[in-house]
Amino acid sequence: MALQAASLVPASFSVPKEGKNGVSLKDSTLFGLSLSEPIKADFSSSALRCKREFQQKIGAVRAETVATASPAVTKSAPEGKKTLRKGSVVITGASSGLGLATAKALAETGKWHIIMACRDYLKAARAAKSAGMAKENYTIMHLDLASLDSVRQFVDNFRRSQMPLDVLVCNAAVYLPTAKEPTFTAEGFELSVGTNHLGHFLLARLLLEDLKNSDYPSKRLIIVGSITGNTNTLAGNVPPKANLGDLRGLQGGLNGLNSSAMIDGGDFDGAKAYKDSKVCNMLTMQEFHRRYHEETGITFSSLYPGCIATTGLFREHIPLFRTLFPPFQKYITKGFVSEDEAGKRLAQVVSDPSLTKSGVYWSWNKTSASFENQLSQEASDAEKARKVWDISEKLVGLA
């Protein structure tokens, strides 16, 4: 099985020219080279090294003594004050936009170690560097959500690193508004729903175990949602509108062959597929809450961070749109937020002690104060959430 060396490299080794055994980490990331056995052996020792480094990096925030990865709360002599180790948060799609801004905001507090789960190692390394993130505050690991094998590999690699998991942020997404025909993930699911929903669904289901094992005082699983999936808003009524219908396309596997590539079974529409995927994200968060909150104490939340009109999300849109969209949002809808501001919002959902309520879809008002928002009828339909969960389990091979 191909192990990508770079996927476990702590930031202190970011963008290295040569791997330990003369294997270029850069090359193995770019070309996905399989590693030979002896190098794999070194790779797992790099996992242990990773653990050691993490333990050093997460040394209790206010402690004078060196802390270990666990327990989360330690007593530090001589004052006997309780101290908290660094939190350990995985953020998918942290190589740009909201994910990067959140990583940056959390890194700046000095209280978090961020695992940037990204499909493009070099892009993530450059992004972290240009965001000014200190090396001891992050680790980059490879994750391509458009491949379920990659999701499973990521989970294996993460576990091998022996870092704890305190918070998982499912943030990555693709938006393909101009695509005329559907494109597909490695397993043959339409790319937007396959990446934004199904990839994250498998990741979150697998990592739930790791979250349960964390001894951090506030464990959280966050799935980024959006206003455009909510038809109880103006933005959610701009055509094409989200609508999962009776889920016949999802049931059929979204493969565009013997079934539609769209969840509702209709004709392919890239903008609708994205909005549908966001509805799935918001339904999944609530279903997690119903199934696991009481038993695990984990906080499950979703959010609309505001319209971050400048991110890479719109890279596939026509140039005219990319030019007009930011001023339109800034001056007409006034829904615009900068990447920095949006990153601070998501960072609050990760770490703010006042945002521990589970099952909530957070939004922010004009003065940037958070509030519990209402989801549309479809995005809060418990019966639909259960069905999406059950079908998704089958599609990703969990049932």
| DSSP strand pairing (73-76 vs 167-170) | unpaired
What residues from 248 to 307 belong to the interface with ligand LMG (CB under 6 A)? 271
97 near ligand NDP, judged by CB under 6 A:
yes
Q: Spell out the SS3 assignment of 34-51.
A: CCCHHHHHHHHHHHHHHH
What residues from 175 to 194 belong to the interface with ligand LMG (CB under 6 A)? 177-178
DSSP codes of every residue in 222-267:
EEE--GGG-TTSSGGGSSSPP--TT-HHHHTTS-SSSS-SSTTS--
Pick the binder of ligand LMG from 22, 132, 239, 353 (CB under 6 A): 239
Helices H, strands E: what count in the chain? Answer: 12, 10
Q: Is 175 a catalytic residue?
A: no
Marked catalytic residue, from 121, 138, 175, 274:
274
Pick the binder of ligand PMR from 7, 161, 171, 226 (CB under 6 A): 226
End-to-end Cα distance, the chain: 24
- Site track 108-127 with ligand NDP (rule: CB under 6 A), x = hit: ----------xxx--x----
- Which SS3 state, helix, strand or coil, does residue 102 take? helix
234 near ligand LMG, judged by CB under 6 A:
no
Backbone region of residue 344 per phi and psi (left: phi > 0; alpha: psi in -120 to 50; beta: other values):
alpha
99 near ligand NDP, judged by CB under 6 A:
yes
Q: CB of 305 within 8 A of CB of 342?
A: yes
Pick the binder of ligand LMG from 325, 359, 370, 393 (CB under 6 A): 325
Span interacting with ligand LMG, options 65-73, 93-101, 281-289, 324-332, rule CB under 6 A: 324-332
Span interacting with ligand PMR, options 127-135, 222-230, 257-265, 341-349, rule CB under 6 A: 222-230
53 near ligand NDP, judged by CB under 6 A:
no
313 near ligand PMR, judged by CB under 6 A:
yes
Query: What H or E segment, with its residue span, contains residue 399?
Result: none
What residues from 276 to 295 belong to the interface with ligand NDP (CB under 6 A)? 278
Rounded to 5°, the CA angle 5-129-344 comes to 110
Footprint of ligand NDP on this chain (CB under 6 A)?
A: 92-93, 95-99, 118-120, 123, 143-146, 171-174, 195, 224, 226, 278, 304-305, 307-309, 311-313
Return the active site residues. 274
